[in-house]
Amino acid sequence: MAERADPVLPVRTGLRRAEAASAAQAGWPRLPVLRRMAAMPLRDPFAFTGLLIYLLFVLVALFADQLAPLDPLEILFTKAGKLAANVPPGLDFPLGTTNLGRDIYAQLVHGTRSALAVGLSAAIIVAIVGTVVGLVAGYFGGMVDAVLMRIADMALSLPFLPFVIVLTGFLGASTSNIVFAVALLLWPNSARVIRSQVLTLRERAYVEAARVTGASSWRILFVHIAPNILPLSFVYAAIAIGWAIITEASVSFLGFGDSESVSWGYMLQDAFSSQALSRGQYAWFVPPGVCIILVVVAGFFISRGYEEVFMPRLRGR
């Protein structure tokens, strides 16, 4: 029963301390939570690595045309006029070519665009929908809460991959449909966690104070409660990026993906069906696999960092 106390912080006494005063100075971003969120990667080496990886891929996606001028789907021929199929990695083709004569390196680089598009759009949808639903359900409670949470429960009970496949089967196998399907299944997680956080925040004295001073419910929701929820939204957004990319890769690998665009999953499926593994053509399937791993892991590192922004007690002292 007589356990050790929590580590003690300097007792608050009301005399201004120099560091606290300078932190309050107007600087951008003004909102302390945004400032903490922006500063987080600087403190967490994992999140920093994740951020670097993202940055790298974003740059690759932006400059894909300059980095890999060849069309990824263009079938190439050797100087002799024969199909440049399964050419081993060399000066002309850094990663070699596929069995249909397409440049693997070009596919990898252009595939980045597809991956990031999928990841980011899914993340944005999940963040927005999950946050709004969580806020509304948590704050207003009652019937609204019950209905929204039952919808969330239904979405959560659907098997992930089969559902995505079936939906793209119905709507057509395009990248945007895959993103839509992924977002549809991922928002409930963030909505539920955000909702429970809102339930706690709703009882705080300053929220009651806002009500007493005449603030409307919407104002309370977006001015008092939402800023405290933002780091959580980021956590789930970062997780969603990884999930979306993996799902897209899985769907493409299974052959249900978008055949118009080149994605890493498409590359894996292509390599698999041409028996690249048994032929030992590692340069074809290892790079896209590694890229998927890197992006997803980066997403998790960043989400872990934001968890600590949100719950400072997780931070080691």
Interacting residue ranges for another protein, rule: CB under 8 A: 1-17, 19-21, 24-26, 31-33, 204-206, 208-216, 219, 224, 227-228, 317
DSSP character string of 45-67: HHHHHHHHHHHHHHHHHHTHHHH
Tell me how far, at minimum, the Cβ of 190 lies from another protein, in Å: 21
Tell me how far, at minimum, the Cβ of 24 lies from another protein, in Å: 6
Residue with the two structure tokens 């929590």: 6
Query: Residues 228, 222: contact at Cβ < 8 Å?
Result: no
Tell me how far, at minimum, the Cβ of 217 lies from another protein, in Å: 12
Nearer to another protein, 169 or 227 (CB): 227
Nearer to another protein, 4 or 82 (CB): 4
Which contacts of 192-195 are long-range, i.e. CB under 8 A and separated by 24 or more positions? Answer: 192/134, 192/149, 192/152, 193/134, 193/232, 193/236, 194/130, 194/131, 194/133, 194/134, 194/135, 194/138, 194/229, 194/232, 194/233, 195/133, 195/134, 195/135, 195/137, 195/138, 195/145, 195/149
Nearer to another protein, 1 or 80 (CB): 1
Nearer to another protein, 66 or 213 (CB): 213
Tell me how far, at minimum, the Cβ of 176 lies from another protein, in Å: 37
Q: Two tokens at 158? A: 């659907």
Nearer to another protein, 81 or 142 (CB): 142
101's torsion region: left (phi>0), alpha (psi -120 to 50) or beta? Answer: left
Nearest residue to 70 (alpha-carbon basis) of 50, 46, 95, 44 = 95
Tell me how far, at minimum, the Cβ of 230 lies from another protein, in Å: 10
Query: Residues 308, 44: contact at Cβ < 8 Å?
Result: yes
Torsion of CA 159, 189, 41, 247, to 10 degrees: 20
Nearer to another protein, 80 or 205 (CB): 205
DSSP state letter for 133: H
Q: Two tokens at 157? A: 């009970």
Tell me how far, at minimum, the Cβ of 301 lies from another protein, in Å: 25
Nearer to another protein, 51 or 207 (CB): 207
Q: What is d(CA 140, CA 137) in angstroms, rounded to the nearest whole number? A: 6
Query: Residues 35, 29: contact at Cβ < 8 Å?
Result: yes
Tell me how far, at minimum, the Cβ of 13 lies from another protein, in Å: 5
Q: What is d(CA 164, CA 179) in angstroms, rounded to the nearest whole number? A: 9
Q: Two tokens at 130? A: 């999950």
Tell me how far, at minimum, the Cβ of 233 lies from another protein, in Å: 16
Nearer to another protein, 26 or 91 (CB): 26
Tell me how far, at minimum, the Cβ of 209 lies from another protein, in Å: 5
Nearer to another protein, 198 or 249 (CB): 198
